[in-house]
A = this chain, B = another copy of it.
């Protein structure tokens, strides 16, 4: 897939969204950054699905190019990066949430019980607010 702005398949908004994250990993990275509060490359590698490092690096670069993810370089160690969601990335929360609801309703034995889904829904505004604060602080450090 080209690393350019997608949307060449058609003008359809579904096609655009799938050009951005229509693969098995991108939305898991969004989940990890937002819901699991993983920030560093190594933390993302350690997620339970076992993403390969080259796939993770590729997806992070692609999501960064597309304005969904932003990387902040640690001011004390230029080799360390923290990854955050941009506002465009945070706006994917409703997509993530509907995926979780769908799996909860249609995958036998899913841990996404109504109680869990309710907890995710209630915690989302604070989680998004906190993500923004941490992101803006990290990106401000970087600008210094």
Contacts and interface: CB of A to CB of B under 8 A. Distances in A.
Interface string A1-34: 0000001011111111111001111011001000
A107 interface: yes
Interface secondary structure of A, over-half rule? helix
Given A12-B31, A12-B48, A49-B12, A103 B17 contact: yes
A105 interface: yes
A73 interface: no
B13 A111 contact: yes
Interface in A91-133: 91-92, 94-107, 109-112
A88 interface: yes
Given A19-B24, A24-B22, A13 B94 contact: no
Contacts of A49: 9-10, 12, 15
Interface residue tally on A, bucketed by range = 35 or more
A99 B95 contact: yes
A48 B10 contact: yes
Contact of A17 (B10, B13, B22, B99): B99
Nearest to A24: B22
Given A19-B24, A22-B27, 16 more contacts: A11-B110, A11-B111, A12-B48, A12-B49, A13-B99, A13-B107, A14-B27, A14-B100, A14-B103, A15-B28, A16-B107, A18-B27, A22-B25, A94-B98, A94-B102, A97-B98
